[in-house]
Structure 1
Amino acid sequence: MTAIMKGVRVLEVSEHGFLPMAGALLADWGAEVIKIEPVERGDAARGITTTGDDVNVLFEHANRGKQSLALDLAQSEAREILYRLAASADVFMTNKLPRVRAKLKLDVEDLRAHNPRLIYARGGGAGEKGPERDRGSYDLLSFWHRTGVSSMVARPDGSLPFLPAPGFGDFTGAMFIAGGVMGALFHRERTGEATVVDSSLLATGMWSMGAAIACADRDPAWPWPPPQANPLSATYYTADDRRIALCCLQAAHYWPMMCEAIGRPELGRDPRFATQDRLLGNAEAATILREAFAAHSLAEWRVKLETFPGQWNVVQTAAEVPSDPMVEPNGYLQRVETAAGVPFRLVAAPIQYDGVPARPGRAPEFNEHGDAILEGLGLDWDAVVDLKVRGIVG
């Protein structure tokens, strides 16, 4: 793997998923990422478990490959340690609210006073400007509900679905933060100018909903009544109650080939289904496909559709994805061990360089690297012990 971020030092003061996941991506690609955690409890995400076993998967996913140092940033001596680290860093990342940054002296000017070349990246719920800049949020609120995503997938009874996965908006938005940081580093390399990188869960959710928002902005009546249904862009149940999703937008082109696949080649020549206009909204064509798919199991359809040139996929559960035939060859799932040696797997970074997936490291234990980082700043052991006793460091 080409470690394109090797030699880059990132200093991170953030919790939960949005900014931490961006730091994790940079670590996957070779950056040294030092995570600063509160002395008393560490990152709040350490207390959120999702699987009920001895692997905190959510924390591991968002903090892979980092070093951990516990500092009480409410104390000036802890901030001085942070500033000394910032002096040798390339990037500072935080999701602290503006009022918290001001109180802890973590704003751009505070860090840049010690390193004018520092890239400063920040991200929160809704943005740095406006009346709600100091309101905290989570991806469920700012990415999912506020941007119109949940309303677009509302159930027939009007109820709104929950996030499809833990950290769904956090981890989606993190890629934008990581990309923004990398762009800022490239800009600094070319011009010598250090920039501030801003994003938010609202901004990244709006980007994901960009086409819908643009349509609605032009016509407040949008969404319009849905276009006539395409029978070759729909989901069908199999005999064993599994689902196959078709997405053949050129319905007339693929209809004869689908008729071959379902064993009804004569329907491919039937004038009732001969053109795109005749297929769209054609309830009879949809009924034919619904009955055909219901007659065979998923295993049988995998064979029948193997040579079908149109676009289709099985509707899979999260538990089935690791066994997808494209996952292992492409390295999309990587093996990791916790600090205690417990094996588990994490999804790899979605960008590969030179055709090789980035291999994630494990997340750090709380303050695991604290002593070594402090010693690297030139503090002797007596000084470190004194800082520990006074609760300034972990």
Structure 2
Amino acid sequence: MTRVMQGVRILEVAEHTFVPAASALLADWGADVIKVEHVARGDAMRGLASSGIAVVPDDVHVLFEHSNRGKRSIGLDLTSEIGHEILCRLAATADVFLTNKLPSVRAKLKIDVADIRKHNPQIIYVRGTGQGERGPDADRGAYDSLAFWARAGVAAGVMRPEYGEVPVPPAPGFGDSIGGMTIAGGISSALFHRERTGEATTVDVSLMGTAMWSMGQALALSLQLNTPWTPPPAGTRSNPLTGQYATRDGRWLSFTCLQAGRYWSSMCKVIGRPEMADDPRFIDHGALMAHCGEAIAILRDAFAERSLAEWRERLADFTGQWCVVQDTLEAVADPQTDANGYIQQCATSEGVPFRLAAAPVQFDECASAPRRAPEFNEHCEDVLGELGFSVDDMLDLKIRGVVT
């Protein structure tokens, strides 16, 4: 893979998933990412024993690996004068400063835009926040389950009356990972702009703003119709070749054939009812729409007669758009996953193997191979050595508690 970020250095003062996921992607693409962690405990994500959804395995902290692969780590006391000086010296060598610290914390630590640019006027300064850099909640922290999922209309967009409760996000770090990808795109654009114009910009991405963009079409419809967006009630489809059908063994097939009239004849052959293609109720697209309920009932009964394996075989040559509703392990085993390198192999510093989702952007038809996340403070001596600190200097800093 072409390492498009080769030669770019990113200085990260961030923890958890949202913002670190951004530099993890850039590290996959070749950037040198220096992760500055709390001098005593490191990134709070390291100590996460449970996501609230699933227990984190003891042998590999895969949630941390997902958003910190390929980085270098140094534990640094930013509240100390010398610790702050070291950070500023690192900033002077970096292309990007990346943080998720709240405005009040940035001010306290003296790592806001003006503070960092005193030492590097050309640095791109990047902030990842919960609700945005301005407004009454700018200084309030958030998680993706709040700012992305609940606050921006995403949860309401998947609710059904029969649920009886608000659905939880579909995965740990769901909004964080999408938001991190958004930050990575913003950083890439800012680097391109600086390359073209010489101007260093400030980049802001929030979980809430990312979610609202993801819900953008629903928001536009809501504003145009002055009605909050809710998903269509179950059973209100107007096209029988869209939606899901259950198989005999309790699995689901999903169809999105928007041109129903074009694919109806082929579908009738698939289900073993070729005569239905000439039924006046379903003779063309308009007729199908008018008699959608009847067509759905026929398809529902037909798909319930056979297993998923049988339907895979019968649908193999169907030219309409469909897929199997898969779980995560099935998605990993999908032939398309293997062919395109969507899952990549890794190993911890102790050689324990594990696998991660690959960066979603590929260059020159090649998936990026992620490197493992760093152990806490693993690269302290390397990073300090690059700044000119001697072995005696490093020992003194450790004795004083400035570094670990």
Instruction: Report the TM-score, using the length of structure 2 for normalisation.
Output: 0.95
Q: Does 1:166 align with 2:176?
A: no
Partner of 1:393: 403
CA shift for structure 1 position 213: 0.8
Matched-pair identity in %: 58
Name which of 102, 108, 124 aligns with 2:113: 108
Q: Does 1:305 align with 2:315?
A: yes
CA shift for structure 1 position 225: 8.7
Q: Does 1:347 align with 2:352?
A: no
Residues 78-227 of structure 1 mapped to structure 2, 5 A cutoff: 78-157=83-162, 158-223=164-229, 226=232
Q: What one-letter code is carried by the residue in structure 2 that aligns with 1:277?
A: G
CA shift for structure 1 position 19: 0.7
Q: Deviations over 1:364-393 (max 9, x none)?
A: 000000111111111111111111111111
Between 1:215-224 and 1:310-319, the stretch displaced more is 215-224
Q: Deviations over 1:335-371 (max 9, x none)?
A: 0001111001001000000000000000000000011
Q: What one-letter code is carried by the residue in structure 2 that aligns with 1:60?
A: E
Residue 350 of structure 2: SS of its match in structure 1?
coil
Q: Deviations over 1:278-334 (max 9, x none)?
A: 223621111111111111111111110000000000000112111001001101100
Q: What one-letter code is carried by the residue in structure 1 that aligns with 2:28?
A: D
Partner of 1:248: 257
Residue 276 of structure 2: SS of its match in structure 1?
helix
Q: For the structure 1 residues 274 and 224, does the alpha-carbon distance in structure 2 shift closer, same or farther, using more than 3 Å as the test?
A: farther
Q: Deviations over 1:240-268 (max 9, x none)?
A: 11111111111111111100111111101
Contact 2:156 2:230 (C-alpha < 8 Å) held by counterparts: no
Partners in 1 of 2:278 and 2:258 — Cα distance?
A: 19
Q: For the structure 1 residues 224 and 202, does the alpha-carbon distance in structure 2 shift closer, same or farther, using more than 3 Å as the test?
A: closer
Q: Does 1:290 align with 2:295?
A: no
Partners in 2 of 1:223 and 1:389 — Cα distance?
A: 58
Q: What one-letter code is carried by the residue in structure 1 that aligns with 2:368?
A: A
Partner of 1:24: 24
Contact 2:159 2:231 (C-alpha < 8 Å) held by counterparts: no
Partners in 1 of 2:394 and 2:229 — Cα distance?
A: 61
Instruction: Report the TM-score, using the length of structure 1 for normalisation.
Output: 0.98
Q: What one-letter code is carried by the residue in structure 2 that aligns with 1:320?
A: E
Partners in 1 of 2:391 and 2:231 — Cα distance?
A: 70
Partners in 2 of 1:293 and 1:202 — Cα distance?
A: 40
Contact 2:38 2:76 (C-alpha < 8 Å) held by counterparts: yes
Q: Does 1:11 align with 2:11?
A: yes
* Structure 2 stretches lacking a partner, 5+ long: 50-54
Q: Does 1:335 align with 2:345?
A: yes
Partners in 2 of 1:219 and 1:114 — Cα distance?
A: 51
Q: Deviations over 1:68-112 (max 9, x none)?
A: 000011111101000001101000000000000000001011110
Between 1:91-100 and 1:268-277, the stretch displaced more is 268-277
Contact 2:10 2:34 (C-alpha < 8 Å) held by counterparts: yes
Q: For the structure 1 residues 259 and 184, does the alpha-carbon distance in structure 2 shift closer, same or farther, using more than 3 Å as the test?
A: same
Between 1:188-197 and 1:151-160, the stretch displaced more is 151-160
Work out the number of aligned pairs and report it: 394
Q: What one-letter code is carried by the residue in structure 2 that aligns with 1:25?
A: L
